[in-house]
Chain A
Amino acid sequence: MSGVRVLVGTRKGAFVLTSDGKRDKWDVSGPHFAGWEIYHVKGSPVDPNRLFASQTSGWFGQLIQRSDDGGATWEQVGSKFEYDGVPGTHQWYDGTPHPWEFARVWHLEPSLSDPDTVYAGVEDAALFRSVDGGQEWQELSGLRDHDTGPLWQPGAGGMCLHSIILDPTNPDRMFVAISAAGAFRSDDAGKSWRPITKGLKSEGIPDPEAHVGHCVHRIAIHPSRPDVLFMQKHWDVMRSDDAGESWYEISGDLPTDFGFPIDVHAHEPDTVYVVPITSDSLHYPPDGKLRVYRSRTGGNEWEPLTNGLPQSNCYVNVLRDAMAVDSLDSCGIYFGTTGGQVYASSDAGDNWAPIVRDLPGVLSVEVQTLP
C-alpha cells in the first residue's frame, strides 16, 4: 500500500512522520540533529530515499546532512558555501551598503532528474548548486550579479532565498524568490536571471514600477501547468499566467491577504491554499481562529477550512516553507505551526487532524508520496 513521509524541520531538530495511504495513524521519528535549527528537509523526486537537510546554528554555523535510507541514518556532507568572486554589497535595512555575508541555508531543492544534483537557497540571498550529492557547492552567481543586486534589501527575517521552483517541462527554466528582493526567472539553467515582478504593488516602495524590493513570501506552481505561478506576497496573493511576465491580484474575498505559505492541490491546478495571517505586525491568524483558505477557481473566491483546526485562542503562525501536499488520491495537505503542531488533511482540506501537537516551532514541512 502506498504511503507518505512528512519531513518536518523545527527550531530544535528534524522529525520524520510516516503513515500508510489512509493517513490516520502516524509513526514519529526524531528529533534528528537535536538542538539544532533545521530550516528545511527535502527528498529527491528521483530517489525518494535520498533526503537533504539544512542544519544550522547561530553558534556553530551551517551543516548539510544527507540520508540515503529515508531518514533512518544520516551522513554529514559539504557545507562550504563561498560566494563566487568578490561578493560586493547589497543594501542594509537603513539603505547603506552592506557586504554579502553567508548566514544559513533556507531551502534545499533536489533536482527533478538527477539524485546527485541539489540546489540551495541561502541567506544572504544567493543560489548554490551541488552536483555530487551535497559534497561540494558552487554558486550560480548570475543571480546575485544581476544589475539590481546592490539594491536588494533584507526582509525582517533576513535576506533569504527561500523559494526554488524547477520547471518540470523545461530543464532550463527555474524560478526563485527572495525576501525582500522579489522573484526572478532563469531560462538558461541558472546562468542568467531577470526579475519577474511586473504587476506587483508593494506599499513603501517609492517607485511603483520598481523591479526589485518586493517582499515575496512564497511562490508555487502545479507541475502540469508550470506557466501559472501563485504567489503569497507580504501583502497580496498574486497569480501569473505567463511564467511571471506579469502578475495580477487574486486575494478576492480573503479576510486578510497577508500570509506566508501558498500551495497547489496535487491533482487540481486551480485549487490553491493559503493561511491568512492578521497583518505584518500581528503574525497570527485573525480572531484567534486557525483557518486554511482554499480557492477552487484559481483565486479570488476563497472558502475557509476549519474542521479540526482550533477556532479560538489560537495565535500561532505558519511559516513560508511549512506547507506541502502529497499526491495520493485524495490529495493530502500538511502544514506546521510556530506552536509545534503539524496538521494533516487527507481529503484536500475538508477535515484536519494534528499528527503531532508539541514539537518545537515548525520551520518547514515537506511530504513525499511513497509507492
Chain B
Amino acid sequence: MIRVVLPAHLRTIAKVSGEVEVDVEGEVTQRSVLDALEASYPMLRGTIRDQSTQKRRAFVRFFACQEDLSHESPDAPLPHEVAKGTEPFLVVGAMAGG
C-alpha cells in the first residue's frame, strides 16, 4: 500500500481528507503511483500532470523522505520507504502567489 499526501485543493477535488492509499502493481515509481492514484481518483486527471503529455505540471512538486524528487525520471524507483508504506509520497503545490 502506497501512502500519498495531496495538497488541500486536490483533497477537496478528490473528496478525501488526510492521506490516501493506493495499490501499485510492480515497481513503485512516480508514474506507477500517479497511474494508480488517477485510476482510483479520476477527477485528479490533469491536475498533477498534463493529461496528454503526462508531464508534471510546473507548479507541482514531488517529495518523499525529505528529498525533492520532482526532477527524477517518472520511471525511477521511489525510495524503499515509500514502496513499503512507511513514508508517504508527497504531492506539493509550489508556494507562490496569494
For B12, B46, B50, the residue with the greatest tally of chain A CB atoms inside 10 Å of its CB is B46
CB atoms of A60 and B51 under 8 A apart: no
Nearest B residue to A57, CB-CB: B9
Q: Is A79 an interface residue (CB 8 A)?
A: yes
Binds A, one of B26-34, B52-60, B66-74, B76-84: B52-60
CB atoms of A63 and B9 under 8 A apart: no
Q: Is B47 an interface residue (CB 8 A)?
A: yes
The number of chain B residues with a CB under 8 A from chain A is 21
Kindly state the separation between the CA atoms of A57 and B97 in the bound complex, as whole angstroms. Answer: 11
Q: What 1/0 flags go to B1-29 for Cβ under 8 Å of A?
A: 00000011110110000000000000000
Residues of chain B with a CB closer than 8 A to A60's CB = 9-10, 13, 47-48, 57, 60, 93
CB atoms of A80 and B60 under 8 A apart: no
Which interface class (under 10, 10 to 19, 20 to 34, 35 or more) fits A? 10 to 19
Q: Known: A35-B9, A76-B13, A82-B52. Is A58-B47 also a contact (CB below 8 A)?
A: no
Kindly state the separation between the CA atoms of A62 and B50 in the bound complex, as whole angstroms. Answer: 10
**What residues make up the interface of A, taking CB atoms closer than 8 Å to B?**
34-36, 57-63, 76, 79-80, 82
If A57-B9, A61-B46 are given as contacts, then 16 extra A-B residue pairs at C-beta distance below 8 Å, sorted by A number, are: A34-B12, A60-B10, A60-B47, A60-B57, A60-B60, A61-B47, A61-B57, A63-B13, A63-B43, A76-B43, A79-B46, A79-B51, A80-B46, A80-B52, A82-B51, A82-B52
Q: List 10 contacting pairs A-B, 8 Å CB cutoff, sorted by A.
A: A58-B96, A59-B94, A60-B9, A60-B47, A60-B48, A60-B93, A61-B47, A76-B13, A79-B51, A80-B52
